[in-house]
Structure 1
Amino acid sequence: MTSRQVSILDGSTFMVSDDSGDVGAGGQPLDGLFYRDIRHLSRWELRLNGRRPHALAGDLTEYDTAVFYLTEPTASAFDGPPVTVLRQRRIGNGLTERLTVTNHTAQELALLLDVLFAADFADLFEVKNKLPKTGTHKTSVERDRVTMEYAHGDFRRGTVIRSEGAFLADQVLTFQIRLEPGQRWQTEIEVSLSSNDHAPAVKRERHPNIDQSLDEWLAAAPRLDTDWADLAHAYHRSLVDLAALRFYPDVTPCSSVPAAGLPWYMALFGRDSLVTSYQALPYLPELARTTLRALAARQATAVDDFRDAEPGKILHELRHGELAHFHQQPQSPYYGTADATPLFLILLDEYERWTGDAALVHELEGAARAALRWMEVYGDSDGDGFIEYRTRNPDTGLANHCWKDSWNSILYPDGRLASSPRATCELQGYAYDARRRMSRLARECWGDDTLADRLDRDAAGLHERFNDVYWLPDQGFYALALDGDKRLVPTLTSNIGHLLWSGIVPDDRVDAVVGHLLGERMFAGWGVRTLAAGQPAFNPVEYHNGTVWPHDNALIAAGLARYGRRAEANRIAVALLEAARHFDHRLPEVFVGADRSVTRVPVRYPTACSPQAWASGAPLLLLRTVLGLSPRVDGFAVDAHLPGHVGRLAVRGVTGRWGLVDAIA
């Protein structure tokens, strides 16, 4: 039986082990100590007198610390173990592990405690895709340390292991221990990590590797006061997980931004960071500020086919691993996203609405104008008024540049792939919303009425064209996309819910759209499926073709509320928070789209990230939706519509252009 995995993280460093604290012992493909996309420990196993101890408990104490309580194996289940081992683990820029061994017998014991280690320096995507290494490894042993190094051309990584009192070899630390009856022995092992341009020291203080400690982060956030237990637990979990996912990208060395998710996406992602920052705006506005600056600093300025870059485009992904370094994958940075650019503009406007921070709007005016130009020139490459995408890099680039970016997500109902270029429906909604929002900023912040008037005209024209072209009158919903031949792709998907969020749906079509979203084919009981059941393409365990995504549902709920469909929005909010209860109140990236009446419990998707940024942000947006929180020029508005079982709901200390206020239902 496979043991449970225990994952701790702090920014761009994370460690995945089994529930005894071991790495490499259980055959799990993704375990180890990772730093900046490279695995610096691929083996980290404890042996007591040559045998693996038995794990009684192993779990997190905070997001960056874990404790494992182990015993020496005994001959009988009824024998008391003579020796226990406590492993206390903390990560930051590296790893510290404190080992405490206790003799529970009435006699003196002589023990051997070994720590077996190795570093394969595998790129995260070499782990994911089972690719071989091509560089050279070197291990050197000195009096007080073991150094493992990896080199491939000008790419370098290193792992250094230190511990007082250990006998050191190139793959093992050995401690010879003699304990009197009842005596305890303790030591600490320090693992430091280095890359070409980073050689940070292992942190010894308790504070996370970010600009605020967890206690400071939680204290700065608004306080939730409610009798809705599921929401209260999920709110706290979300704040903690968003704290854990913060890291310093190179482009903003003094400010932290949210990484996308553990384990595959501990990096800066345009789309994910923008959506997460939008979700968290009323509670953690600094995430939006730092995310906008970080993405503006890496905005594309030229055409680069390999990286799918075009002037004004916002990046998709920024990596630091070996494959990105040698351009075997276009991720340093990679720009294969068509939605991050309009989402950047949407977040910039929403941030100013909440905070009144016009200085940032002026600071990023050039980036915003470049993003608008990208939408008009490169995003709409054929001049038909719609944003479409096709990768410039067919060898290693992504086929899909929308949020459903798996290779087979944009397909006909029968499962045939749509041809490229593809113009998915929600991209047009984002582009419409971005133009409306930039019109306001142009008029109110930049003093450019000419631009504002043009953007208003362009938005109105897009609204009319979109509703003429994409609407399927016989079926009562919007097509998923236009394919490369400008044919409609009439697949029923959750993308239509994003159209409500963007405001591009006319009032007389809302009932039909809502009927589909909350109907039996789409609503699984835990949330709206990405693709409706009953179509041949539907698969409840396919990444984007039938699963339930919390962030997707939170945006849909916000869209429902935008059109006054508060009861339907609450239905989604309640379902998601009830699902969170089954995941220790931490919503995973995605779960299986099986019907709730059949499974009775939500089923985790096999490779779902957890924690994952926009899943962590989903409860925050749901809370905003239920309370009806919105910024106003003349103050802060609350228009609550509570589920029937909730009697008390308030968020105290919401910060914004109005100062600190309490939002009380």
Structure 2
Amino acid sequence: MKQLVSILDGNTFLVSDRRGDIEPARDSPTGLFSFDTRFLATWLLTLDGERLHSLSVDQAESHQVRFFLVPIQPTHYQDARASVIRSRTIGGSLDEELTVINHAGREQEFTLRLDTGSDFADLFEIKDVQLRQGRVAASVAPGQLRLTYHRDQFRRETVISTSAPGQIDERGITFTIRVPPHGEWTTRLTVVTVIYGARGEDVRATLPLGGGRTAAAIEQEQQDLLARAPSLGCDCQPLGTAYRRSLSDLASLRYESIALGVRLLAAGLPWFMTLFGRDSMFTSLQVLPFLPELVSPTISILAGLQGTRLDDFRDEEPGKILHELRYGETAGFEEQPHSPYYGAADSTALFVILLDEYERWTGDSGLVRRLEFPVRAALEWLDTYGDLLGNGYVWYETRNPATGLQNQCWKDSWDAISYADGRLPGFPRATCELQGYAYDAKVRAARLARTFWNDPTYADRLEHEAAALKERFNRDFWIADREYYALALDAEGRHVDALASNMGHLLWSGIVDESKAAAVARHLLGPRLFSGWGVRTLATDQGRYNPIGYHVGTVWPFDNAFIAWGLWRYGFREEAGRICQAMCDATRFFRGRLPEAFAGYDRDLTDYPVEYPTACTPQAWSAGTPLLVLRVLLGLEPQGEHLIIDPAVPAGMGRIELLDIPGRWGRVDALGRSRNL
């Protein structure tokens, strides 16, 4: 797969090759995108009819990139007579400065051509090619090329303009230029995207930021966010680099929702630049000790969009928390159910968990009181619609076999849940971590009911239900002769017996019996699951294991961070430290930015983590991983009006100093050192 370069600013992002070019491809995420629509599918630069070659790509900021190009492949025997610099910035609109530099001692004439075009493809169409029903048109005006798409009331537009005169046609712009000896020529191209509403207005104009920001505003926001976050000083240079990169990426992933008018964290580039229930809540849990103000909008919006009815098309049920919200053509015409879609069996319990954790850190009791009824509705869902078989467990099976997700846990690819021999179970399925989340949600909700809702009877009921679930779960899911928890139960109550990373989330939830925790830890850090770079999603001796299979053998940084948190909770500090150390080591090979996933190859085999071929990067819960790693290493845990600090830093990592950690206690400092120092 060719290496791609991306820039983004929340609502808008661009993906190109290393020359800065975008070529039309129905199955590739290259293009200029905003709110699930591709506004540019072609952006191709030539000089005198020849493609350019990349010398280097300079990208210090997430919203800016510079490409250094020459018209020939440089050799020892022939120097380039000219070079081209493409300086690109995104902030709602796209601005690209083209500079042609003449290296000769005489004046030269060049023909610079930019081919442009748009298919206005919906993001779902790019992943799964479909028949288009709308019409694309192009029109030329003085200094401007306008590309439009119409399908009934669905209208999108791309407007391209240039600061230097050029010959504009429906397929692009041609510049015939003369450059003096050792001189240069420059033009600035601007691409504006328009999303029309029912009354013919750009719907983003009503948003607080108007749908876009200047480069200076983006940089200022990122600086402000970095200034508000705790200051990290550490001897482990990869951890320090990853921390700064994570904060920057999280800032760039914030976007404005068209329908909701608030800033939220998008899940990841390129496929998931929108609100995801599960991803957004896991990221919020990672972010809480550092930037708690980013969390409350997500909680409030998820509560506001909570399911209220039975809708088979959207997998919606009363009390259920959404999975995904989309704005594109296929969602608008109900060809996809994502407006929003509710096909996640874990998001509802995670909503309760996040609200409780948020209050424990911030002391924001007002939000807890305002959301009492959404929390009660979520808990009711766990016991009714979530319990498809009426046996006290959370199950899933889509109501929409045509377009609904088959697997509705975090490992949602079609083959992610399997028996040890590789067979796939039928539906419904009850994966193990869903039960852990449900247990944790009831324990936490009991605290909220007793402390804030003045309902001790409800609190007692929830605590009794949680205790019964824990006892039942440890009886039914435990595979005694193998000493690990089944990945799931099938509809007949049999063990779906694959050895997988899911049980690490059980430690985080607290549902694991103390007597079984050591065996779980041994498996997680054993050679079948632990690659040296992290815990694999599936053990190497399982039937469907594939080191580059999406959920069947790869290593996911977010998964590992929560596993480390679970190990820490049960007192396995050395084991948690090994995972944290592995994540820190991996960041060195990605310049501090952990991708969505990397291959499950043994560390001794590759010496570096091999990135999954189509991994999202940046991705929110991967960006949040170094933050949760810091929490685990420093042993940060809120308790009442105080922050408990109990560090356990692995040997060789040296000093970790985190200053001004925000919370209900004000701001405090934490310091940890390797035990060998």
TM norm structure 1: 0.97
| CA distance in 1: counterparts of 2:417 and 2:181, whole angstroms | 67
Equivalent residue letter for 2:72:
P
Matched, 1:548 2:555: yes
Matched, 1:579 2:586: yes
Question: Which residue does the alignment assign to 1:222?
Answer: 230
Question: Which residue does the alignment assign to 1:4?
Answer: 3
Shift of 1:208: 5.3
Shift of 1:228: 1.0
Matched, 1:632 2:639: yes
The runs of 5 or more residues in structure 1 that have no matched partner are none
Shift of 1:303: 0.8
| CA distance in 1: counterparts of 2:235 and 2:75, whole angstroms | 47
* Residues 79-88 or 586-595, more deviating: 79-88
Structure 2 matches for 1:355-370, cutoff 5 A? 355-370=362-377
Question: Aligned match of 1:536 in 540, 543, 550?
Answer: 543
Question: Which residue does the alignment assign to 1:329?
Answer: 336
Question: Which residue does the alignment assign to 2:611?
Answer: 604
Equivalent residue letter for 1:229:
Q
Question: Which residue does the alignment assign to 2:44?
Answer: 45
Question: Which residue does the alignment assign to 1:511?
Answer: 518
Structure 2 matches for 1:247-646, cutoff 5 A? 247-254=255-262, 256-646=263-653
CA offsets, 1:108-154, max 9 Å, x none?
A: 22222211100011111211123342211111111121111111222
Q: Is the 8 A contact 2:57 2:66 kept in 1?
A: yes
Shift of 1:647: 2.3
Question: Which residue does the alignment assign to 1:205?
Answer: 214
Shift of 1:252: 3.8
1:432 is paired with a residue whose SS is helix
| CA distance in 1: counterparts of 2:204 and 2:357, whole angstroms | 38
Q: Is the 8 A contact 1:10 1:208 kept in 2?
A: no
CA offsets, 1:420-477, max 9 Å, x none?
A: 1111110000000000111111111122112111111111111111111111111111
Describe the shift of the 1:161–1:302 C-alpha distance in structure 2 as closer, same or farther (beyond 3 A). same
Matched, 1:155 2:148: no
Q: Is the 8 A contact 2:22 2:43 kept in 1?
A: yes
Shift of 1:203: 5.0
1:213 is paired with a residue whose SS is helix
1:219 is paired with a residue whose SS is helix
Q: Is the 8 A contact 2:657 2:671 kept in 1?
A: yes
Describe the shift of the 1:27–1:358 C-alpha distance in structure 2 as closer, same or farther (beyond 3 A). closer
Structure 2 matches for 1:50-69, cutoff 5 A? 50-69=49-68
CA RMSD of aligned residues (A): 1.8
* Residues 427-436 or 75-84, more deviating: 75-84
Question: Which residue does the alignment assign to 1:173?
Answer: 173
Question: Which residue does the alignment assign to 1:125?
Answer: 124
Equivalent residue letter for 2:606:
T
Shift of 1:503: 0.5
CA offsets, 1:494-532, max 9 Å, x none?
A: 111111000011111111111111111111111111111
Describe the shift of the 1:37–1:412 C-alpha distance in structure 2 as closer, same or farther (beyond 3 A). same
Describe the shift of the 1:203–1:345 C-alpha distance in structure 2 as closer, same or farther (beyond 3 A). closer
Matched, 1:658 2:665: yes
Q: Is the 8 A contact 1:6 1:19 kept in 2?
A: yes
Shift of 1:155: 1.5
Shift of 1:202: 8.2
Equivalent residue letter for 1:95:
L
1:406 is paired with a residue whose SS is coil
1:112 is paired with a residue whose SS is strand
2:349 is paired with a residue whose SS is helix
Equivalent residue letter for 2:111:
L
2:215 is paired with a residue whose SS is coil
1:240 is paired with a residue whose SS is helix
Describe the shift of the 1:74–1:360 C-alpha distance in structure 2 as closer, same or farther (beyond 3 A). closer
* Residues 435-444 or 124-133, more deviating: 124-133
| CA distance in 1: counterparts of 2:540 and 2:508, whole angstroms | 23
Q: Is the 8 A contact 2:27 2:128 kept in 1?
A: no
Describe the shift of the 1:25–1:385 C-alpha distance in structure 2 as closer, same or farther (beyond 3 A). closer
Percent identity of paired positions between Structure 1 and Structure 2:
51
Shift of 1:25: 7.6
Q: Is the 8 A contact 1:251 1:294 kept in 2?
A: no
**Matched residue count:** 662
2:382 is paired with a residue whose SS is helix
| CA distance in 1: counterparts of 2:653 and 2:371, whole angstroms | 41
Describe the shift of the 1:418–1:207 C-alpha distance in structure 2 as closer, same or farther (beyond 3 A). farther
Equivalent residue letter for 1:426:
E
| CA distance in 2: counterparts of 1:76 and 1:592, whole angstroms | 35
2:669 is paired with a residue whose SS is strand
Equivalent residue letter for 1:238:
S
Shift of 1:101: 2.0
Equivalent residue letter for 1:275:
F
Shift of 1:299: 1.0
1:279 is paired with a residue whose SS is helix
Q: Is the 8 A contact 1:650 1:664 kept in 2?
A: yes
CA offsets, 1:161-197, max 9 Å, x none?
A: 1113222111111222222223222211110111233
TM norm structure 2: 0.95
Question: Which residue does the alignment assign to 2:194?
Answer: 194
Q: Is the 8 A contact 2:204 2:211 kept in 1?
A: no
| CA distance in 2: counterparts of 1:351 and 1:65, whole angstroms | 34
Q: Is the 8 A contact 2:641 2:664 kept in 1?
A: no
Shift of 1:209: 6.1
Describe the shift of the 1:581–1:41 C-alpha distance in structure 2 as closer, same or farther (beyond 3 A). same
Equivalent residue letter for 1:597:
D
Shift of 1:77: 3.9
Shift of 1:10: 1.1
The runs of 5 or more residues in structure 2 that have no matched partner are 198-202, 673-677
Question: Which residue does the alignment assign to 1:99?
Answer: 98
Q: Is the 8 A contact 1:207 1:214 kept in 2?
A: no
Equivalent residue letter for 2:31:
G
Q: Is the 8 A contact 1:226 1:232 kept in 2?
A: yes
| CA distance in 2: counterparts of 1:307 and 1:25, whole angstroms | 31
* Residues 427-436 or 451-460, more deviating: 451-460
Describe the shift of the 1:341–1:595 C-alpha distance in structure 2 as closer, same or farther (beyond 3 A). same
Q: Is the 8 A contact 1:59 1:67 kept in 2?
A: yes
| CA distance in 1: counterparts of 2:51 and 2:639, whole angstroms | 61
| CA distance in 2: counterparts of 1:309 and 1:424, whole angstroms | 20
Equivalent residue letter for 1:191:
V
